[in-house]
Amino acid sequence: MKNLRIAIAYAAALVLIPPAIVQAELPGVTVNISNFSPSSGTVEVSLFNSAGSFLVEPYLQASGNVDEDGNFQTRFAALPSGEYAVVVVHDANNNGQLDNGFLGFGGEDYAYSNNVQTWFGRPDFDQVKFVVKESGVVLQIDMN
């Protein structure tokens, strides 16, 4: 009976290990964000995986606090190869929302992958997308 339990446990381990190995081998995206002003508050980083979901439904999200040097880093691991886009929102006053200033400008900061700047409206997915392949991607996003 003891040998049967050991054999079952061994078989279960073999079934569970391969998906973990495959997941570990998938590439990821490291997002380095700099120049938060003020160097306080929280950051929300949203990762989108298609034009249809862009600015509607994030594929993955990460959040945390801006460090004292005005930087933040996060990593999205084990991503399938494909096209993605990142949006960063800085909630400087920690009120849980993106505040707008006069006429909708000058409130709290936000940024896009590829450091795309927009004056009016939002960029489309093609402007901010990047490709994740086998080796993964490191993004540098400047909040200025």
Structural domain including 85 reads: 27-142
Q: Is residue 42 in some structural domain?
A: yes
CA–CA gap between residue 30 and residue 44 (Å, rounded): 14
**How open is the CA angle 107-65-113, to the nearest 5 degrees?**
65
Give the 3-state secondary structure of residue 18.
helix
Q: Is residue 114 in some structural domain?
A: yes
CA–CA gap between residue 127 and residue 124 (Å, rounded): 6
Count of domains for the chain: 1
Question: Whole-model pTM above 0.85?
Answer: no
Q: Which two tokens stand for residue 135?
A: 């080796």
Q: Is residue 7 in some structural domain?
A: no
Q: Is residue 22 in some structural domain?
A: no
Mean pLDDT for 43-71 is: 97
Asked whether residue 93 carries a pLDDT value surpassing 50, the answer given is yes
Q: Is residue 14 in some structural domain?
A: no
- Residue identified by tokens 């040998």 is 3
Q: Is residue 2 in some structural domain?
A: no
The CATH number that applies at residue 136 is 2.60.40.10
pLDDT given for residue 22 in this prediction: 46
Q: What is the DSSP string of 114-136?
A: GG---SSS---HHHH-EEE-TT-
Q: Is residue 124 in some structural domain?
A: yes
What confidence tier does 95 reach under pLDDT thresholds 50, 70, 90?
A: confident
Q: Which of 47-51, 57-61, 90-94 has the lowest mean pLDDT?
A: 90-94
For 14, which DSSP code?
Answer: H
Q: Is residue 32 in some structural domain?
A: yes
